A and B are shown apart, each in its own frame.
Chain A
Amino acid sequence: MTGAERKMKPWLKRILVGGLVLLLIGGIAIWYIFNEKFEDTSKEPSAYTVSAMDFIKEFEKNDTLANKKYAEKIIIINGRVSEMEAADTTINIKMIDTTTDAYIIFAFQQQHRKAAKQLKEGDTVSIKGSCSGGAYSEILETEFITFKRCVLNK
């Protein structure tokens, strides 16, 4: 076999180089997707700003519609802290509609838990977080709406 015959054909070389580039791009994309972390909620744009009592009433009226509108979206809720409840090693904040006992509960993002602990019952606050949706609690016999990755909205 001569040296010229051993030399790679240009079209084959192009396919191999193209394939390698695609593999590299794919690898970077997969690495990025699986190493991505949720951004700090304080930096995320919000879809809605609602008062706590209006928000609760919307879920009580029709939680199927309310879930479609709000679930998995970043929402800002303005209201008064009704309760601070221990959640393992941290604190959750609750806003309760005392006429029906329906409530919103906010679980805070790791880096914002210290700030949440500084709140007191009765404080007027604005909380931004990812709405997980609402449902009727068979245990409590009332509507409950949960939030995750929350931050105090400044």
Chain B
Amino acid sequence: MKKSIILFALLGLVTVSIAQKKKTTTSATINFDATTPLDKLPKAENKTVVASLNTKTGEVAFESIIKSFSFGNPKMQEHFNAPNWMDSEKFPKATFKGKITNVSAVNFKADGTYSATVTGDLTMHGVTKPVSTTASIVVKGKAISTTTDFTAKLADFGVNGPAIGAGKVATDPKISVIADFN
């Protein structure tokens, strides 16, 4: 009986310790750039992305409401959300769940700039695909700033609108993610 109490207490401590290492923000930013020489309009930003980073396990996660992407041009925003593009009515969220594979190389307790390798699963338009990218992590006191840039092939996620075929939307848009954890 005594042993089980101690075991449960230890388990509780470990859980609390891991949970404390999980940092979150609700204001991560994703910039989406699908511009081409023919069209400079397919470009948007989303500043209300939810993100988490576990500095102990290296687990990272992002989730974004598709309709939160803000375009300068109303027609372009309408096309982006339409059924032959992101179909945001049917697939309202995009998510990423992954891990920093070299988390031991990042000292979250010492100021500095670190290079991290992130791999995980990106889900958008109802399709999940593996993604691998490098991220820059800047540690300054208790603040952790992370940035990464990668491209996503729209066809891999079942997005095949006519504008892509016509060269007005990039086949592999550039996606940059900025998340600041305090």
A: which residues have CB within 8 A of B?
A: 33-38, 67, 71-72, 85-88, 90, 92, 94, 103, 105, 107, 132-135, 137-140, 144, 146-149
Contacts and interface: CB of A to CB of B under 8 A. Distances in A.
Interface in B11-64: 24-29, 41, 46-48, 50-52, 61, 63
B75 A88 contact: no
- In the A-B complex, the 5 residue pairs with the smallest Cβ-Cβ separation, listed nearest first, are A87-B27, A132-B67, A146-B48, A132-B68, A107-B47
A107 B50 contact: no
Interface of B: 24-29, 41, 46-48, 50-52, 61, 63, 65, 67-68, 70-76, 92-93, 95, 178, 180, 182
Given A37-B73, A38-B74, A140 B67 contact: no
B27 A86 contact: yes
Given A37-B72, A88-B29, A135-B93, 5 more contacts: A37-B73, A38-B71, A105-B26, A107-B48, A148-B68
Nearest to B95: A138
Name A's interface SS.
strand
A149 B25 CA distance: 20
A38 B72 contact: yes
A87 B24 contact: no
A134 B93 CA distance: 10
Contacts, number: 91
A148 B24 contact: no
B26 A140 contact: yes
Contacts of A133: 65, 67, 92
B29 A87 contact: yes
B160 to A, nearest CB: 22
A139 B48 contact: no
Given A88-B178, A132-B48, A139-B52, A34 B75 contact: yes
Contacts of A38: 71-74
Contact of B73 (A36, A90, A134): A36
Given A87-B29, A139-B63, A34 B41 contact: yes
A94 B26 contact: yes
Nearest to B41: A34
Given A34-B41, A135-B92, A139-B51, A71 B25 contact: no
Contact of B50 (A35, A36, A71, A144): A144
A86 B144 CA distance: 12
Contacts of B28: 87
Given A135-B92, A139-B61, A71 B67 contact: yes
24 contacts: A37-B72, A67-B92, A85-B26, A87-B27, A87-B47, A92-B27, A92-B47, A103-B26, A105-B48, A107-B46, A107-B47, A132-B65, A135-B93, A137-B63, A138-B95, A139-B24, A139-B50, A139-B63, A144-B65, A146-B65, A146-B68, A148-B48, A148-B68, A149-B70
Contacts of B92: 67, 133, 135
